[in-house]
Amino acid sequence: MSHTSFIDSAAFSTLRSAAERIFSSLIERLGVQTVYVTQCTPKDMTILSTYSPGVPIFTNGYQRTYDASYCRLIHNSDNHFLSTMNLSEHHQAKHLDITKELLPKGFLGVTLRETDGSQFGTLSAIDQEEKHFTDEDISFMQTMADVLSYLIELDRTKYNMNFLNVPIIPITSGVAALTIQGIVDEERTDKIIQNVLHYSSEYKTSYFIVDLSGLMLLDETFPTDIFNLFRALQVMGVHPILTGLRPDVAKQQVQNEELLNLNIPIKSDLEAALKHIGLTLSTSH
């Protein structure tokens, strides 16, 4: 059984979601025991996520001072990576307490940067047996670090902007609509539910149209947390209507029983939803 563990930080939800697939590729390529990502500050090193097919060497939330970590050795190296068959014999790593405590051997670590070039932390592979890493292995590791850099940037954007606000559009008395754009994770769903329920209560909404035409799927997985929005509206006596399921999303979700069994109207677009309620769109000239 593989073990994946993540520090409980809403700031890096996309990184956590995608990391296991990247880590699995690294485990298969390098034949190591554990792969992990760290976030580093001038004072501390924290492991954000780990993956191991067996018993992991590190676990989530593992922390060290920056000076006492492998991160410092990686960042200070000429090529911004550290590769050694045996950490206990490496001229610098052998003196660190972390090496003396865990007795690791094979190690490959590269600098993990944000897209602006600033240092974020490290991407590392570690094993309790000696391992030889080729130049091709190092290049592959650096490529995976570049991929993770874009995921980190996406999470930074989501976190700093709260990944878009919740644009509720009043249609007419008792009717409102919400267009959901981008990736929806648990944190964002909670914010959407809070805002929608507050609006519905304050403005005595009878029908709430939720449009998903701008929804982005991560790994082709429909965000099932969004079903909680529909249930919460129904509990309040509000009638939810789902619109905007694109053909590509519908094709991917043909086996999604929870989506298929939704006990709410599903319409193609806003105009069809309004027609269902008994309203029509009109344009002024």
> Which tens digit of pLDDT belongs to each residue from 105-129?
999 999 998 877 889 999 999 999 9
- The mean pLDDT value of the chain amounts to 84
Per-residue pLDDT at 230 exceeds 80:
yes
Could you give the percent of the chain with pLDDT greater than 90? 50
Give pLDDT, residue 233.
Answer: 94
Residue 208's pLDDT band, with cuts at 50, 70 and 90, is very high
CATH superfamily of 168-277: STAS domain (3.30.750.24)
Domain ranges of the chain: 3-160, 168-277
Q: Which helix (H) or strand (E) holds 148?
A: helix 135-160
Among 110-119, 131-140, 161-170, 199-208, which stretch is predicted with the lowest mean pLDDT? Answer: 161-170
Q: Picking from 26-30, 97-101, 115-119, 217-221, which range would have the lowest pLDDT averaged per residue?
A: 217-221
Instruction: Tell me the CA distances in angstroms from 193 to 198, 228, 244, one per residue in order.
Output: 8, 8, 19
Q: What are the b/e assignments for 47-58, b being 16+ CB within 10 Å?
A: bbbbbbbeebbb
CATH topology of domain 3-160: Beta-Lactamase (3.30.450)
**pLDDT for the residue 73:** 96
Strand 3-6 versus strand 107-113 pairing type? unpaired
Per-residue pLDDT band at 285 (split at 50, 70, 90): very low
The overall pTM is greater than 0.75: no
Collapse the DSSP code of 125 into the 3-class scheme (helix H, G, I; strand E, B; otherwise coil) and give the result: strand
Helices 227-235, 186-202: axis angle to 10 degrees equals: 20
